[in-house]
Amino acid sequence: MSQEVKEYQMYIGGQFVESESKEKSQSICPGDQKVLASFPKGNAADVDKAVAAAKETFENSDWGHVRNSVERGKLLREISKSIRERLDELAEIESLDSGKTITETNLIDIHMAADTFEYFADLATQIYGEVLPVPADVLDFTWREPLGVCGAIGAWNFPIMFNAWKIAPALAAGNCAVYKPAELTSLSSLELAKIFDQVGLPAGTVNIVTGPGRSVGQAIAEHQDVAKVSFTGSTEVGRNILKSAGSNLKKTTLELGGKSPNIVFPDADMKRAVNGAMTAIFYNGGECCIAGSRLFLHEDIYDEFLGQLVERTQKIKLGHPSDWEARMGPMVTRDHQKKVLSYIEWGKKNGLKLLCGGNIPKDPELSEGNFIEPTIFAAEDNQLKLCQEEVFGPVLTVQKFKGEEEAIRLANDTIYGLASAVWTQDIKRAFRVAKKIKAGQVWINQYMIVTPFGPHGGYKQSGYGKDLSKYCLEEYTQLKNIYVDLSEDEMLVFYD
Ligand code: NAD
């Protein structure tokens, strides 16, 4: 990205525009605090305009009609192609804006966004109802219909991916959309807006409104003309979304926080499991909803496993988001860095054993960034704050267990239920544990794989509803039932 501060505008009704208030926000690189760009600080008036544009297109054009499904698929495929063509540029913008390493954005995030648009391009013509075998002389069938205007609100940790996860299925199903990216990481969504425009999405089909959660986010969640809100963010804000969405009983999908368990049995392939434990907590600097932030080790392998884990963790190279050698970047903001450090200080003062990390790195080259050393604590009590609350940073707690039942009990002892993993060569044990874990995702001998093909979403206070996969299309459609009378008999009459 060049040194000059880029100026962005929002995308409403097919136009690139300023906010009604003309106010601006800035994007600041978490690696060095340089100002990268400015973009509009939107408000409820901008949401009104965006929703009106989306409604106009939905109600007064062919966009959502089934006869347009091939065309919708083609446009989604064009978006995917354009994202791939701009891979290097988008990866750089995403990294500098969010602090994610260039390795992660260039090798994973941008591809995942493109893959998601491609996947839902293929599904655009595959959304249909069923004929139901009613035991009477009637034909009963269902239509899957679009909802209308779908609102969506994203978190800051996987910005371009969340945009794709919510916009692609909404459009495939024939809806129009209003998307609010997190104010900390809005740039990739504003770049996507340029792609939406270039490929020729009809004006109003997708609208990108940037700005704070309390104004723009809340206005989307409350809006009377928004039929559905898909939210990715914290459990706390998820509760507010639910209240706001009650205004017109809009459909909600809530992808919320996590405190995911990662269980290793003594027969696991240790090298793979150590790799998995590191990916689980240090990928994206631990700023991951599905982070495996609670590691449970069987007592027979506890010492050996921890020895390898700590040794390798101390070698993780921290670096500027643009550094191809870096394996962990900075925290998204100074405030977030402080919040994560405060959890670490709590751990140090409350009897947890610090095994590595626990500080701001001393390397002077990192002094301008919001860095934190990858940190591991040994913990004995699962009720401790550090074992229960989502830290959202590179902080792992490790606990010892004796048997399968204890591991499952500890794993489920949390308000969250987003993800989990089990490492063992015993296939029966793997399935037994997977069955008993209360989480929307279980990896067996793996951690972190996410694809557009599989559903993503939580149990318990990690939310409900699914992103991705064919299942998420249920979240973006409504079912209409049609009865056709085929009987030759007189209709049953109750009245003279
Ligand atoms: P957050 O809840 O603070 O914000 C998420 C989004 O909601 C942002 O766009 C924000 O501007 C908006 N918002 C804030 N207050 C709002 C309000 N009152 N009304 C409407 N919108 C509002 O979360 P965050 O800090 O951006 O992200 C971190 C959290 O997100 C973590 O808890 C993480 O686990 C969770 N997360 C969950 C998933 C998942 O798929 N389950 C994925 C990523 C992140």
Active site residue 176: no
Contact 100, 282 (CB under 8 A): no
Could you give the count of Cα atoms lying within 13 Å of 131 in the half-sphere of its Cβ? 4
State in Å: Cα 154 to ligand 1 middle. 6
Q: Which tens digits make up the pLDDT trace of 404-432?
A: 999 999 999 999 999 999 999 999 999 99
Is it the case that residue 335 has pLDDT exceeding 80? yes
8 A C-beta contact, residue 402 and residue 381: no
What is the number of other CB atoms lying within 10 angstroms of the CB of residue 248? 12
Closest atom of ligand 1 to CA, residue 155: 26
pTM: 0.97
Most ligand 1 atoms within 8 A of CB, residue of 116, 153, 184, 287 to mutate = 153
Mean pLDDT of all residues in 74-89: 98
Instruction: Report helix, strand or coil for 479.
Output: strand
Is the CB of 221 inside a 6 Å radius of any atom of ligand 1? yes
Is residue 217 lining ligand 1, measured as CB closer than 6 Å? yes
Is residue 233 within 6 Å of ligand 1 at its C-beta?
Answer: yes
Centre of ligand 1 to C-alpha 182, Å, is 8
Percentage of the residues of the chain whose pLDDT score is greater than 70: 99
CA 155 to ligand 1 center in whole angstroms: 4
User: What is the 36 CA–ligand 1 centroid distance (Å)?
Assistant: 23
> 341-394 pLDDT, tens per residue?
999 999 999 989 999 999 999 999 999 999 999 999 999 999 999 999 999 999
- pLDDT for 137 equals 94
Question: What is the distance in A from the centroid of ligand 1 to the CA of 406?
Answer: 32
The closest residue, in CA terms, to atom 4 on ligand 1 is 233
Q: Say if residue 494's pLDDT is above 90.
A: no
Q: What is the best residue among 157, 180, 235, 287 to mutate for testing ligand 1's pocket, by most ligand atoms within 8 Å of CB? A: 157
Q: Is 255 a catalytic residue?
A: yes
How far is Cα 255 from Cα 458, in angstroms, rounded to an integer?
7
> 276: burial class by Cβ within 10 Å (0-12, 13-18, 19+)?
buried
Q: Which of 104, 118, 255, 373 does the annotation list as catalytic? A: 255
40 lines ligand 1 (CB under 6 A): no
What is the helix (H) or strand (E) element at residue 180, kind and residue range? strand 176-180
Residue with tokens 């696991």: 268
How does residue 2 score in pLDDT terms, banded at 50, 70 and 90?
low
As a whole number of angstroms, the distance between CA 121 and CA 80 comes to 9
The atom of ligand 1 lying closest to the CA of 392 is 31
How far apart CA 419 and CA 458 sit, in angstroms, is 7
DSSP state letters, 211-274? S-IIIIIHHHHH-TT--EEEEES-HHHHHHHHHHHTTTT-EEEEE-----EEEE-TTS-HHHHH
Ligand 1 pocket residue status of 289, Cβ below 6 Å: yes
Q: Is residue 258 within 8 Å of 390, Cβ to Cβ?
A: yes
Mean pLDDT of the chain: 97
CA distances from 3 to 36, 86, 204, 317 (A): 8, 19, 33, 26
How are the residues of the chain apportioned to helix, strand and coil, as percentages rounded to the nearest 5? 40, 20, 40
Rounded CA-CA distance 485/140 in Å is 9
Residue 233 pLDDT greater than 90, yes or no: yes
Does residue 255 line the site of ligand 1, with CB under 6 A? Answer: yes
Q: Is 19 helix (H, G, I), strand (E, B) or coil?
A: coil
Q: Is 216 in the pocket of ligand 1 (CB under 6 A)?
A: no
Q: Is the CB of 286 under 6 A from ligand 1?
A: no
Name which residue sits closest to atom 18 of ligand 1, judged by CA.
Answer: 214
Residue 155 reports pLDDT greater than 80: yes
pLDDT (average), residues 1-23: 93
Ligand 1 atom index nearest CA of 240: 18
Residue 54: pLDDT over 80: yes
Helix (H) or strand (E) holding 295: strand 294-298
Let me know: does 372 contact 337? Beta carbons within 8 Å.
Answer: yes
> What is the best residue among 226, 289, 335, 461 to mutate for testing ligand 1's pocket, by most ligand atoms within 8 Å of CB?
289
Tell me the average pLDDT across 236-257.
Answer: 98
In this structure, the strands spanning 416-417 and 421-423 are: unpaired
Could you tell me how far CA 375 lies from the centroid of its own chain?
Answer: 24
Phi/psi at 86 (5° precision): -105, 25
* CB of 214 sitting under 6 A from ligand 1: yes
Which of 223, 232, 336, 391 most suits a substitution to test ligand 1, by most atoms within 8 Å of the C-beta? 232
Atom 42 of ligand 1 has which residue's CA nearest to it? Answer: 289
Of the candidates 307, 310, 296, the one whose C-alpha atom is nearest the C-alpha of residue 268 is: 296
Q: Whose CA is nearest to atom 35 of ligand 1?
A: 233
The model's pLDDT over 94-144, given as tens digits with 9 standing for 90+, comes to 999 999 999 999 999 999 999 999 999 999 999 999 999 999 999 999 999
Confirm or reject: Cβ of 121 under 6 Å from ligand 1.
Answer: no
Using CB atoms within 10 Å of the CB of residue 8, give its burial: 0 to 12 exposed, 13 to 18 middle, 19+ buried: buried
* Choice among 29, 289, 356, 387 that is catalytic: 289
Is residue 229 in contact with ligand 1, taking CB distance under 6 Å? Answer: no
The answer to whether 341 and 375 are in contact (CB under 8 A) is no
- Is residue 214 exposed (0-12), middle (13-18) or buried (19+ Cβ within 10 Å)? exposed
